[in-house]
Structure formats: structure tokens, C-alpha cells
A and B are shown apart, each in its own frame.
Chain A
Amino acid sequence: MSRVAVVGVGQTKFVRSYPGSIREMVFEAFKEAMADAQMTVKDIDATIVCSAPEYDKQRSPSGVLAEYLGLNPQPTFYTESLCSSSTTGLRLAYSLVKAGLHDTVMVLGFQKMSEISAAESQERMGRGTDIQWEAPFGTMMPAYYAMFARGHMAKYGTTPDDLALVRIKSSTYGVFNDKAMLRKQMTPDVFKDPASPMTGILSSPLRVGDCCSNADGASCIIVAGEKRAKSMSKRPVWILGLGSATASVNMAGRELFYSLPAATEAANQAYKMAGVKPKDINVAEVHDCFTIAEIMAYESLGFAKPGEGPALVRSKETYKEGSIPVNVDGGLLSKGHPVGATGGSQVRTIVLQLRGEAGDMQVKNPALGLVHNVGGVGLYANVSILGRE
């Protein structure tokens, strides 16, 4: 069977408020990926557009973007799985190429969250959960992850100081990432100082500093079949394993409140397809929308045994020089989280790492990289394993 590669990657800076329209924002990521792949619009056979539509005023943005980017008359369509939309796009792109329908497929992810207020965006995020049975109680995303933080603390003795270590690691690398929104090194004091904006409780036990920020941004990933990838790209990065799974949207349907079973299932599928084990992974991007989410990701991905996630970051094994560097681009906590663009940004980081092009964030000579991208409160999960030649 012929393989499928990522041949071009790009993203905008993730910012609080992008000073332009969605099509103009997406153009920036598109331009970077096209230059990276050394392609022109005629080389793109189909485009998959990924975002969470509740933030958009434009109905059916795929058509508008295809027109603006010069991608007519090629087909385009939209896909959505909340915060994991653009790795769902990657999965679809892979299958389109593998099926032989198209040879080169573009995955565009975007979100312009600044068009609505923070409270409105929280209300929309609450509606990413069960609107019939949960939203009428006044739910929001940080409160759900807070319930998992509480569960992890009750089950394993995890502490707020453990969670703070994830934030501090994130900030260490956000400093080096010129696409990140927050680029300031944090110290443990940031959570002790009552005057610090990070210290206040948002939804107990999570503090403001345990949560990532909404952002505006776009990402672009170009995928191609083996023959074209080899002819057009000097440094194709191969898609070796893809896992995807779901779990009950209503919390009443969950068994555990210290782990996200969809992520564990997606990881198992991806490892099986790639024929590799957790210890084989050299660099990973995980969905750290909240500090507790990164701890749970270590455990879902098999980087740590259940309950031992906090020890992994405490021993600095997930730092750049450690045994399994995680989110050494700053992760969502430092980059910001433009919902539909996030998965594509994670894929971009791993592709740059595998090519040795990650600059100050570069991990030493990685061969295998992994992306863990979660939608909702573990409602959707995609795990993707990439490798170089």
C-alpha cells in the first residue's frame, strides 16, 4: 500500500484579536504552507475546512475560503469535531488520498473567536456539551475539566502545585515560539502571589493559570500520496498511525472522572496502526487546554502509568531534554487555542520537529512524533503518529 505524507505546513500567529477578516487570516496560514510545500493552487486537488461553526457569522465558510484562496473549481467541504476539528480533517485527507480520489489534499483550520465576547464564547462552549441536560445548569468548559482535576486529585493525590508545573513548563517554551500568544516565562511564584491574575479560582480546583486562552488563528496542512510527496518534497513526513474515538457527551455517561477514555482508545488505535509503542515516541504535542488535560494525556498515551502523570512533569521528563518531550512549542497554554486551528498547529510543530526545523524548540534528532488532539471534554479524540524516512 502506498503511503501518505504531510508535505507542507503553516500557521498564523495565534493572537487575542486578529485585525482582519477570516479569509485574510486563513490566507496567512495558507501562504506559509504553500511556500513550505513549494506548490501552486493547481496542485491542490481538494480542501477540507475545519472549525467550530458557532463562532462564525459566515455560513458555510468552505466556499468563501476556496474562492479567496484560488481553489475553485476543486471540491471543498467542511468538517467539525470541536477542538479536534483539524485532526479530524487530517484523518479525512488521509482517507481521500488513500482511496485514490485525490492526490493532494489541503486541511485548513481556523477560528476567529474575538468576534464575540468572552462570556458569549463561554456560553457557546457550554453548548458544546449536552444542551438538553447540562447547559441549563450553567456549565462551561473549565468547570468540566475542573471536575476531572478534582477526580484526579481524589484518586491519586494530585495537587494544585503539580498542575502549576505543567503551566511553568509550557511558559518555558512559549518564550521560544514566535507564533505563540503568551511568551513570558512563569515561575511557581505566579500561583502564590494573590495579585497575580493567574492565581484566582476560575472553577475549583482550577485557577485562571490552569486554563488556556481563547485566540484567533489559522493553520494549514498539505497532505499528498507517496509518489507525489517524493517528487515534490525533499522532506516528506509520513502519516504512520491514526486513531480516533468518542465518549459520552453527558457526564452521566462517563465511568471515570480522572481519565478521558476516548483519548486512551485513540492512542491504542494509533500505536497499533503505526506498529510502535509509547516508548518509541521522541516528541509529542498534547491537548493541554487545561493543565490537568496534559497530565491525563501522559497517562492516556502511556508516557506515564495511571496516576503517575504528575511525577513525569515533576521529574522534567517532558522537558526538551527529557525522555519524552511534550509541548515544547508552548502548547495550547502558551500558544492560545483557536479551536478549529489547534490540531493543525500541533501537526505543524511535529512536522517541523521531525524535519529538524524547530529552531530553539528543537528536540535532538526525533524520528517519531505524536499529536493528541481532544474535542470537548474528551467527547472526541484523535491521536496521530508521524515519522520521517
Chain B
Amino acid sequence: MSKKATADTRFSKFGTISFTATTRINDFVDYLEKGKVVGTKCKKCGQRYFPPRADCFHDLTSDMEWFEVTPGGKLLTFSTLKFAPAGFDKELPYTIAVLDFGDYKVFGRVDSAIPEDKLSVGMPMKVAVNKLPNDHINYYFTAA
């Protein structure tokens, strides 16, 4: 009898609704569970990628290592949604944003505890892990 391989679907826990179950950077979810937000770095050219990639197109290599997103982000832009796509209505209102870390940027949500009128383009922010219902997990931006 052949053994049935178990699919590695760890990425299905990422975000409120994940549209991706399996990826070669599934360890990203394990790092989140350990409280770390990580990107990947090409071992050959040193290019850092966020969101993390399994592959570096510069060097045509998949030899990558993880790096942790450091403090020192700056809010580039943001928007607070009053309407949501299907499946996200219960979380309204919520704010999406982009943080700049110099050689990479991070797209994500702003901590819902921060009111919109306390946000301004250019303000310092950092990334933190955020546990969601149903054992899901993502990250959000909090005051630095």
C-alpha cells in the first residue's frame, strides 16, 4: 500500500482568509507563531525580499536565508476601509498601510487600537505579530 503524503498547508493560517495553502516559504507562518516577522535574503547577492520569496530572480537561485524585520519603519501611506470584501465585513473599520524600512517595504494592517486620526504619513511604526480567531495569524503595525 502506498503511503499518502500529507500536504503542508501551514500557509492557510495566514491572515483572516488565506487564498494560498501551500508555498515553499511555509516556515514564515512558524516564525509568526514564534513572534517573529521575517523576510528572505538571497545568500548569493544579499538582496532582501519582503514579502519573503523562495527564489531570487537575480541569481536564479533558491538558496535563501531568513532575516527578521527590524524596528525603524516609517508610515508611507494608509487607508481606512468602511466597506470590505466578502468575508472581512466583521472586522470593519480597519486600516491597511505600507511601511518603509529603507531597503524593503512591508504591506499590512494597522493595529486597530490606533485611531485613524492618530496616523500621519511619515510617522515611525513597527511590525508585530497578531493572533487571529480560529488559530489564524498575521502581523500588524503598531506605534514605534
Which A positions have Cβ atoms within 8 angstroms of B? 117, 119-120, 122-123, 125-127, 130-140, 142-144, 146-151, 154, 200-206, 250-254, 257
Q: How far is the CA of A151 from the CA of B120 in the complex (A)?
A: 10
The 8 Å CB contact of A136, one of B18, B80, B81, is B18
- 12 A-B pairs with CB atoms under 8 Å apart are A120-B86, A132-B11, A136-B15, A138-B96, A139-B85, A143-B79, A148-B77, A149-B79, A202-B81, A203-B83, A251-B107, A252-B106
Q: How far is the CA of A154 from the CA of B122 in the complex (A)?
A: 9
Say how far A156's CB is from chain B's closest CB, in angstroms: 12
Contact flags B105-118 to A (C-beta < 8 A → 1, else 0): 11111000000100
Number of A-B pairs, beta carbon distance below 8 Å = 121
A151 and B94 form a contact (CB under 8 A): no
Q: How far is the CA of A250 from the CA of B108 in the complex (A)?
A: 11
B79 and A203 form a contact (CB under 8 A): yes
B133 at interface by CB-CB < 8 Å: no
Q: Which of B23, B51, B86, B94 has the most chain A CB atoms closer than 10 A to its own CB?
A: B86
Say how far B56's CB is from chain A's closest CB, in angstroms: 14
Q: How large is the interface on B (under 10, 10 to 19, 20 to 34, 35 or more residues)?
A: 35 or more
With A137-B107, A137-B108, A252-B107 known to touch, is A147 a contact of B82 (CB < 8 Å)? no
With A138-B91, A143-B79, A252-B51 known to touch, is A131 a contact of B85 (CB < 8 Å)? no
Q: How far is the CA of A206 from the CA of B96 in the complex (A)?
A: 14
B67 at interface by CB-CB < 8 Å: no
Q: What are the residues of chain A within 8 A of B89 when measuring CB–CB?
A: 119
Q: What are the residues of chain A within 8 A of B94 when measuring CB–CB?
A: 138
Say how far A36's CB is from chain B's closest CB, in angstroms: 39
B14 at interface by CB-CB < 8 Å: yes
The 8 Å CB contact of A132, one of B19, B105, B106, is B19
B85 and A140 form a contact (CB under 8 A): yes
